[in-house]
Copies of this chain bind each other. A is one copy, B any other.
Amino acid sequence: MTPSIPKGTRDFGPEQMARRNYIFDTIKSVFRKFGYAQIETPAQENLSTLLGKYGEEGDKLLFRILNSGDAFAGVDMSQDSRQLSSCICEKGLRYDLTVPFARFVVQHQNDLVFPFKRFQIQPVWRADRPQKGRYREFYQCDADSIGSKSLLGELEMVQMVDEVFDRLGVRVCLKVNNRKVLAGIAQACGHPDKMMDITVAIDKIDKIGIEKVEAELMERGLDSKAIEIIRPALTLSGDTRGKLATMRAMLASSETGSCGLDEIEQLFDLIEAAGVKCAVELDFSLARGLNYYTGAIFEVKAMDYQIGSICGGGRYDNLTGIFGLKDMSGVGISFGADRIYDVLTGLDLFPESLAVSTDLLFANMGSAEARWVVGIAAALRRKGISCEVYPDSVKLKKQFDYASRKGIPFLSICGESEMQGDTVNIKNLSSGEQLSFAADDLDGIISVICKNQSK
């Protein structure tokens, strides 16, 4: 009989929200510092906007919304399920923030300043099979810059990654590659048409290891000679300069490949000029599954915690083409809030004071006393102190409990004698220290509370 929520969805209580807001607020403030402005798009998009953008598998994972009114009126009920569902559902819930962003840019192109730098933090919905760490509703947290081909865009993504994780206290390694290099490798091994097959196979290297990747490449039609050529790309070690030199020789004949290597080299030079602090590693085996990337690709891993990538992105040359706006190159990044949450929890990196919302609780010692402290509480709030008056005149034990469970650091117990004497006492609930002030000495009360906060 207890009510429940749909599987794969979550409620977030006060503590979780404080932690989630800490992550989102950190990311937002970094996005803003680089000139990215927030936008929001509706949860529902027309299915014509969403269908065909995420592959056949993605189309199946879209949540569809039944047309309002009588959805079946005039519908031929003898159609198959597939046709039927497209008759009775014209809208779906957004599956990611990238397609709505492309739709937004095309729809509002005349009102936007290009390069258009936007960030967007909203939930997305996928009818995936729920499992540990995979939800049917989750937040995405994206920044994109669209309307310029400059590598300064890639640099900004790297800098934002660096600053976000520095502020959160997470040591990370940012891996970089370039899709043009992957195209070059496909050319070099004699299968320029198989670039996507190679990418999809290589993308799994972290999960399944090199041997299984090679097996998959065979399955996808590459012969052992081609695989001989690809192998060094997957296993190359050493410093960036050395990796680049080896790959330059391998891809000398491929113009695209060489161009990708130039871009990587220039990006590493800019990263040095900007003084990026986190580790940045060139990894030719980095592929990223998404089809729309055409240039640089990134992925971020936490160094001290075992989990998949916590952030990723890349350059795309034709995101808005599907909606009719050509030649809009862009670069974007997406932070994985749920995984970052797990990393901060696992490494115990959330600040302790996050959950505390109230500085001071006034106990309720009866209606006359409550009426009196209500005025003092109001005066303290006007000076920026967050406080509550316990609503009911119940046993002190219960009121203490309330303060302690909510993590409220100070309690004031003003009974008849305090009211008569016009004094307010303030008890520090962790140290037990108790001080008394004249009721109009607000600054005295505030100084005690603020001294505790700055600890």
CB distance from A109 to the nearest CB of B (A): 9
CA distance A123 to B42 in the complex (A): 9
Q: Is A177 an interface residue (CB 8 A)?
A: no
Stretch of A148-156, A242-250, A437-445 contacting B (4+ beta carbons < 8 Å)? A148-156
Known: A65-B66, A108-B13, A113-B402. A357 touches B37 (CB 8 A): yes
- Please give, as numbers and ranges, the residues of chain B lying within 8 Å of A274 by CB-CB distance: 374-375, 377-378
CA distance A49 to B3 in the complex (A): 7
CB distance from A137 to the nearest CB of B (A): 5
User: Residue A371 contacts which of B71, B149, B270 (CB distance < 8 angstroms)?
Assistant: B270
Task: Tell me the number of copies of this protein.
Answer: 2
Complex contact B63–A107 (CB within 8 A): no
Complex contact B68–A66 (CB within 8 A): no
- Please give, as numbers and ranges, the residues of chain B lying within 8 Å of A163 by CB-CB distance: 381
Q: Is A389 an interface residue (CB 8 A)?
A: yes
CA distance A81 to B74 in the complex (A): 11
Per-residue interface assignment for chain A, residues 83 to 125, with 1 indicating a CB less than 8 Å from any chain B CB and 0 otherwise = 0110011110100000000011011100111010110000101
CA distance A275 to B357 in the complex (A): 23
- Please give, as numbers and ranges, the residues of chain B lying within 8 Å of A405 by CB-CB distance: 113
List CB contacts (< 8 Å) of A131-156 with chain B. 136-137, 145, 148-150, 152-153, 155
CB distance from A410 to the nearest CB of B (A): 13
Q: Is A386 an interface residue (CB 8 A)?
A: yes
Residue of B whose beta carbon sits closest to that of A155: B374
User: Residue A64 contacts which of B9, B65, B70 (CB distance < 8 angstroms)?
Assistant: B65
Known: A42-B9, A108-B11, A275-B378. A370 touches B72 (CB 8 A): no
CA distance A432 to B155 in the complex (A): 30
Per-residue interface assignment for chain A, residues 228 to 262, with 1 indicating a CB less than 8 Å from any chain B CB and 0 otherwise = 00000000000000000000000000000000000
5 additional A-B residue pairs with CB within 8 Å, beyond A63-B65, A152-B364, A275-B378: A2-B106, A35-B361, A44-B63, A71-B81, A159-B378
Q: Can you identify 29 A-B contacts, CB atoms within 8 angstroms?
A: A3-B48, A3-B106, A4-B107, A5-B103, A6-B44, A6-B45, A6-B46, A6-B91, A9-B44, A11-B40, A11-B42, A11-B107, A12-B39, A12-B40, A13-B108, A33-B385, A35-B388, A35-B406, A65-B66, A66-B88, A69-B127, A70-B81, A73-B81, A150-B364, A152-B370, A159-B381, A270-B374, A273-B372, A273-B375
Interface residues of A, Cβ cutoff 8 Å to B: 1-6, 9-14, 17-18, 21, 32-46, 48-49, 61, 63-66, 68-73, 77, 81, 84-85, 88-91, 93, 103-104, 106-108, 111-113, 115, 117-118, 123, 125, 127, 136-137, 145, 148-150, 152-153, 155, 159, 163, 269-270, 273-275, 323-324, 355, 357-358, 361, 364, 370-372, 374-375, 377-379, 381, 384-389, 391-392, 402, 405-406, 408
